[in-house]
Structure 1
Amino acid sequence: METAEIARRFLSFFEKNGHTVVPSASLIAEDPTLLLVPAGMVPFKPFFLGQRTPPYDTATSVQKCIRTKDIEEVGKTSRHATFFQMLGNFSFGDYFKEKAIPLAWELVTTPVEDGGFGIDPDKLWVTVYLEDDEAERIWREVVGVRPERIQRMGMEENYWSMGVPGPCGPCSEIFYDRGPEYGAEGGPQADENRYIEIWNLVFMQYERGEGGDKTGFPIIGELPKRNIDTGMGLERLASVLQGVDNIYETDIIGRVLRRAAELTGTRYGDDSDQDVMLRVVADHVRSAVMLVADGVKPGNEKAGYVLRRILRRSIRNLRLLSGSDTAFLHELTAVSIDAMKDIYPDLLDKADVIHGVIDTEEKNFAETLRAGTALFGRVAERTRAEGGSVFSGSEAFQLHDTYGFPIDLTLEMAAEQGLSVDESAFRELMQKQRETAKADARAKKLGNADISLYAQLLEGAGATDFLGYSDSRSESRIKGIVVDGAASPAAREGERVEIVLDSTPFYAESGGQLADTGTLSVDGRGLVDVEDVQKPLPGLFVHRGTVRSGEIALEDTVHASIDTDRRHAIERSHSATHLIHSALRNALGPTAGQAGSENRPGHLRFDFTADNALGGERLAEVEEEVNTVLARDIEVQTQERGLEEALRMGAMAMFGEKYGDRVRVVEMSDYSVELCGGTHVPSTARLGIVKLLGESSIGSGVRRVEAAVGADAFRRLSRESALVGQLSEQLKTPREELPERIDAMVSRLRTAEKEIERLRAAQVLQAAGSIAEGARRHGSALVVAQAAPEGTSGDDLRKLVLDVRGRLGEDEPVVVAMTAVPKDRPVVVIAVNKAGQKAGVKAGELVGVAARVLGGGGGGKPDIAQGGGSDAGKVDEALRAVEARVASA
């Protein structure tokens, strides 16, 4: 039975049994405590916690999941996978054990021809929690499972909680017996390799307290409502129903694995290490496809880092398997999309963008590998030359920060060369880099309040009614006040405050559009300056600001008023973003998808996927097209439609955005049709003018254009015109001839700089003869140890040292050690001739001696090495240390 058919049957069975079929949520978790969705119940977590009221009593879903905790185990076992799908059925205070258990057994054992999975009941075993007599009785008396096939297990195996105070309850699991060739008899208690879990039923009926993690916590009491949360791994069930040994050999993942073997000229099953690499590739490519489809882009933080890490692991494994640097991911991505399309048809619509993102990352990583591997090799060589075995944390951080090397790749490469990595120093540097960004993001998005407080406000006050599409003012009622991170009945003058209203004209920051600002006033009693509006939870508008005067209290009626001039300026920027998006797609094709934006008064930035820079000429064409379209005075129409209807009419959905069943469509004739929840101008002529300010790269395969809009664009053009006028006057050159005149001036300047550099280098090298004459004997070697002439660059220092060494010949050991201080940082270069090397003197070791005195490091080969430090005052001391080491050799 194919995987897609398994998913279809599961949903169909529970739909027939009264469950609402809920589409999979995005892999990007809405829960701010999670990065990605790791389990099928996560989208329903607010319902289980009582934070939100579910719109249905029972539900069923096939949920996309990503787990990276055990990424190093992927491919090594038959069970671990990064991306997987969880089949689940859920009850929110409706049915409980008495219905959940028989439903599970019915679906698993019903013959295939009758719509079930057709598993032989004699192949199944059941586990229950030690003290769960009720579940054991239902399995035995209602379902008819033989008592010897029911085993009781402890909290570690058969009790569920989230690891923190909250809902919990016993579990019951169904296991499939794979047969005696896989292990010992005796059920799950005897061998979980032979008996594999296929379905877990969680009976959520208690509340747990503090203490312990998986065991040892106190049970406080019963929940007000008893819930059902079940999960069955689709891939694991597929391996059972398809009669294969592991999930990597099932129809979907197996297709990617087999194609990877063909492309790399290997065979699956011939070599265990090779098999692990092929399984890693198959898992990671599919995971990458699904992450990109949900809007994740490769990066160095959060979900972007997860994507970058698995893509780069795939690329490196493919190179090791094939022994070449051939690009394979495009072909494997196509295979994965085709294999998954029956379950997720939207992958076909997103195929161009998915290919664009993954192809670009593969191309960029090829360049990263070349540059980063060279740096890694230099550091590794220097580490060994200095007698060390630990790759420094600062160098690992540089590889990550500058070259995009994931730390796990550095760890793998270091291990291959017999080195360890100072991970603690690396983590400390990473943490320092993140602290400021995290603090800023948390302050902006969530203020100081815990997310659970917002959930309580949403549950108590309900969703905020947004009036801002038509109104700039409203009379609203205060439903929640937060001061210093805690709910408060009132707020007084001078206090920073967060306010929830029952309705609001204020737009909350989203979709790239900045929030409105304005005021909330209570007649004769209080005034609040609103500085920002955020939506920490869907439907909840939180107005953040300061009480300017008086006080406000819960249930007060307030006059809410936005700054309309600011709103209109933002609207002009937002509408311009839509036009720029369409113009870019016309210029670059459909792969130029939106990757982020910001719309603020008079200015916008728009991020899009592209392999290469637009170039000045094409950028000018995009700007001209946008201004031509806006001058046509096109009416901007907005209307609400069903999501499927909107997509059929050609509306562009923003990649990675989450949409409900009803969406808002913004149309500018047929030139631009997009799904968008933001606010816009009534017609394009209101934009006035759009001036593109430039284009730049902001990451792998992602570029950014910035633009000024309206009066800001006019002021920008006015300033530029004045500047050009000044240049024209100063250079006595007509405006239209300025580019040629400036190019000629720059060319002459560069030629002069090169000539000055050549003369300076020649002057430095002229000193080689006199420097060589100053050689002194230390032990059996002739040694030159002195500072280079003032102004010597690092490159010239190396040439000078080699020249001096050459003048001293090969008849006896020669060591030349010289220092320079370019840009206020000391550099030391040491060269040893062949006779010196035969005598056991190595440049790499000597440069380590000097560099340590200078407060730095260095390394190189036995014949020449270079190092440096931070203490220029110890140059003479460093040279004397080299002389002493040579004398003692």
Structure 2
Amino acid sequence: MSSALASDNPTVRAFEASVTDIDGTAVVLDETYFYAEGGGQPSDRGVLGDTEVVHVREVDGAVVHELASEPDFSVGDEVTGVVDDDFRTYCMRAHTASHVLYGAARHIFDDLGYGGFGISDEKVRVDFETTTEIDDAALVELERLVNRAVWDTRDVSWEEIPVAEAREREEIAFNVKTEEGVFADSDTVRIVTIEGWDWAACGGTHVSNTIEIGPLEILGRSNPGEGLTRVEFTVGPSAIDHRADIQQSAYEAASALGTNLEDLGSVATTAVEARNELESELRDLKAEVLSSRLAQFETVERDGMMWKVGSVAGFDANEVGEAAKAARGDADVIVAVGESSAPFVVVASAGDIAAGDVVSEVTDEFGGGGGGSPTFAQGGGIGAPADEVLAFLQN
């Protein structure tokens, strides 16, 4: 006995059955309409007798109902099973929606293969194997095609066919588990067909028409492994809520940019381009200011070498480092001390004085750490203000 009754009769929510085995909280019936977890679909929930069913699994061909506590019935008793209607309906919609999504992918992706599937309480995932880049435009088109197929009220049906016939039909989608598991142990395979749209080997529960799925919203994409693209979506009420949140965000963005939804994309693109130009101009201006400050550093003589020493504020160590290399000029060494809550030191040298030695000299005196090459080094975490470090370097 397996959970095929649930897959073949997905609208059944209540049934009578005989108890054939009890092991603590694990119960087996002579037949069941509870769906056992498998193929990416979670198990049904519900009650058996008066006890909550928390999980259903298939073990060696038997469907085992895990209860929240030990039952008050015995082997041989007739019990009533009630499948949680809301969760079963959600799983039917979500599972069928994954097939509709794959059918949509057939229209726009090349070298398409099935890489995995899973339903959670919040969302559904489908993993695609394809050479096509699944970018934002592809997600938009996937969602459009799926919701159009839902609106077209396409019939959904299922049947067992010989494995040999399934192998010959190129339109049928399989995953690795189906090929290695079902084909290895059975002469037939269950095919779920969405009229004129998708054909897949599947043992899950499904609605009888795509219109029952309701609205679908794609949430995003990710890369779970090499050659795979994961697309996540939500259906039904959660899709409606997600769409409302996105719509609200779009209205807020349009209002902030002083435009309407129709022009939001182009106006946002223009705003980003303008921001990037301003940021580039700001970087150039900061670089000019920094170069000017470094050029004004005091020149001192230490051990017969010419040092340029000074402090800067409003710049990080990396910015100062790049500028110091160019600002050293004819000096043997340039040392810039950063004025901040966490002072740093940057040293650029012609090579006669090792830049790393200068950093070590400062950190040995004031704490912190750092290092670098003979011609460039920097240190941070210095435990003294910039003016004390400068006075130390100038002596």
Same fold (TM over 0.5): yes
Q: Distance in 2 between matches of 1:856 and 1:539?
A: 65
Tell me the residue number matched to 1:193.
none
Aligned residue runs from structure 1 range 750-765, under 5 A: 750-765=276-291
Does residue 668 of structure 1 match 2:185?
no
Does residue 513 of structure 1 match 2:32?
no
Tell me the residue number matched to 1:863.
375
TM-score calculated relative to the size of structure 2: 0.78
Tell me the residue number matched to 1:472.
13
Q: Deviations over 1:734-791 (max 9, x none)?
A: 3322222233333333333333333333323322134343x462x56555677x5232
Q: Distance in 2 between matches of 1:563 and 1:780?
A: 88
| 1:652 CA drift (Å) | 1.8
| 1:867 CA drift (Å) | 5.9
Q: Distance in 2 between matches of 1:688 and 1:709?
A: 7
Identity, % of aligned pairs?
Answer: 26
Q: Deviations over 1:292-343 (max 9, x none)?
A: xxxxxxxxxxxxxxxxxxxxxxxxxxxxxxxxxxxxxxxxxxxxxxxxxxxx
Moved more, 664-673 or 741-750: 741-750
Tell me the residue number matched to 1:572.
93
**Is the 8 Å Cα contact of residues 143 and 216 (structure 2) preserved in structure 1?**
yes
Tell me the residue number matched to 2:168.
648
SS at match of 1:468: helix
Counterparts in 2 of 1:465 and 1:730: CA distance versus 1, 3 Å: closer
| 1:600 CA drift (Å) | 3.8
One-letter amino acid of the structure 1 residue matched with residue 163 of structure 2: L
Q: Distance in 2 between matches of 1:622 and 1:516?
A: 29
Tell me the residue number matched to 2:350.
833
SS at match of 2:348: strand
Cα RMSD between the aligned structures?
A: 3.8
One-letter amino acid of the structure 2 residue matched with residue 835 of structure 1: D
Counterparts in 2 of 1:601 and 1:800: CA distance versus 1, 3 Å: closer
Tell me the residue number matched to 2:324.
801
Counterparts in 2 of 1:866 and 1:515: CA distance versus 1, 3 Å: farther
Does residue 709 of structure 1 match 2:235?
yes
**Is the 8 Å Cα contact of residues 512 and 598 (structure 1) preserved in structure 2?**
yes
SS at match of 1:568: helix
One-letter amino acid of the structure 2 residue matched with residue 678 of structure 1: G
Q: Distance in 2 between matches of 1:716 and 1:604?
A: 14
Counterparts in 2 of 1:780 and 1:655: CA distance versus 1, 3 Å: farther
SS at match of 2:49: strand
Counterparts in 2 of 1:577 and 1:830: CA distance versus 1, 3 Å: same
Q: Distance in 1 between matches of 2:265 and 2:89?
A: 38
Counterparts in 2 of 1:551 and 1:678: CA distance versus 1, 3 Å: closer
Aligned residue runs from structure 1 range 100-139, under 5 A: none
**Is the 8 Å Cα contact of residues 585 and 593 (structure 1) preserved in structure 2?**
no
Q: Distance in 2 between matches of 1:758 and 1:678?
A: 61
Does residue 539 of structure 1 match 2:61?
yes
Tell me the residue number matched to 1:586.
107
Counterparts in 2 of 1:758 and 1:500: CA distance versus 1, 3 Å: farther
One-letter amino acid of the structure 2 residue matched with residue 832 of structure 1: S
More helix by share: 1
Gaps of 5+ in 2: none
**Higher normalized contact order (CA 8 Å, seq sep 6+, divided by chain length):** 2
Matched residue count: 378
**Is the 8 Å Cα contact of residues 508 and 541 (structure 1) preserved in structure 2?**
yes
SS at match of 2:157: strand
Tell me the residue number matched to 2:335.
816
**Is the 8 Å Cα contact of residues 48 and 82 (structure 2) preserved in structure 1?**
yes
**Is the 8 Å Cα contact of residues 307 and 331 (structure 2) preserved in structure 1?**
no
**Is the 8 Å Cα contact of residues 602 and 711 (structure 1) preserved in structure 2?**
no
Tell me the residue number matched to 1:637.
157
Q: Deviations over 1:786-839 (max 9, x none)?
A: 7x5232124311123324532524xxxx36364576xx8776543221333xxx
Q: Distance in 1 between matches of 2:18 and 2:297?
A: 86
| 1:680 CA drift (Å) | 0.8
Aligned residue runs from structure 1 range 698-737, under 5 A: 698-728=224-254, 731-737=257-263
Gaps of 5+ in 1: 1-462, 482-488, 490-497
Q: Distance in 2 between matches of 1:830 and 1:480?
A: 77
Q: Distance in 2 between matches of 1:784 and 1:521?
A: 88
Counterparts in 2 of 1:506 and 1:850: CA distance versus 1, 3 Å: farther
Counterparts in 2 of 1:844 and 1:596: CA distance versus 1, 3 Å: farther
SS at match of 1:835: coil
Counterparts in 2 of 1:806 and 1:630: CA distance versus 1, 3 Å: same
**Is the 8 Å Cα contact of residues 689 and 710 (structure 1) preserved in structure 2?**
yes
Counterparts in 2 of 1:727 and 1:476: CA distance versus 1, 3 Å: farther
**Is the 8 Å Cα contact of residues 597 and 606 (structure 1) preserved in structure 2?**
yes
TM-score calculated relative to the size of structure 1: 0.38
Aligned residue runs from structure 1 range 95-174, under 5 A: none
Q: Deviations over 1:589-615 (max 9, x none)?
A: 2x2212222224573222212345333
Q: Deviations over 1:340-373 (max 9, x none)?
A: xxxxxxxxxxxxxxxxxxxxxxxxxxxxxxxxxx
More strand by share: 2
